[in-house]
Amino acid sequence: MKHMTLCLLALSLVSAFPALGEEHEKDEERDRPKNFGAHGWGLRFGVGDDPDQVVAGVHFDFGEFKAVHMEPNIELLAGDDHLTLSALYAVHYRFRYVEQFRPYVGAGLGLALDHHDRSGISDDTDLDIGMRILGGTNWRLKNGREAFFELSFGIGYVNDIQLMGGWSF
């Protein structure tokens, strides 16, 4: 229970961070909507460590208000005798552009259904609740779409570390 309280507190702080700082300047070069709602989706892929897994999934663009961006995702992870389906609701704080790159930090709460295939022993399936702390950068592609790289750390959740990449449509 103490672990879950800590996760909820950390997510609340990350969500409130932009409200505590200065007002974020408008990015004139961006044509992404500045309001909440369903604005698109994208593909994500990468690797996770402990357990060692290959990761593939989709993320959804729920828009942004000032610098706070909502981007939930669903991932399928396979490897190290584990098959995992996870859903994470991530909140990003996006900083100002540096050249064509826009760095971000964030956190998210998620659920993971993990099936562990143990050789010679009965299989094990668990439902886990956890948190992810993440950071990365987005950049615009020539076709107007957006790509990203992201590094995240899990707290009581699927992988300890994930390195992800992908693009949004």
- For residues 82, 9, 135, 114, the Cα torsion angle rounded to the nearest 10 degrees is 10
Question: Which residue is listed with tokens 């981007």?
Answer: 71
Long-range contacts of 26-31 (CB under 8 A, 24+ apart): 27/96, 27/97, 27/102, 29/97, 31/144
**Fold entry, domain 2-20+46-168:** Porin (2.40.160)
**Per-residue pLDDT tens for 134-148?**
999 999 898 888 999
Domain boundary assignment for the chain: 2-20+46-168
pLDDT < 70 stretches in the chain = 1-37
| Beta strands 73-79; 53-65: pairing state | antiparallel
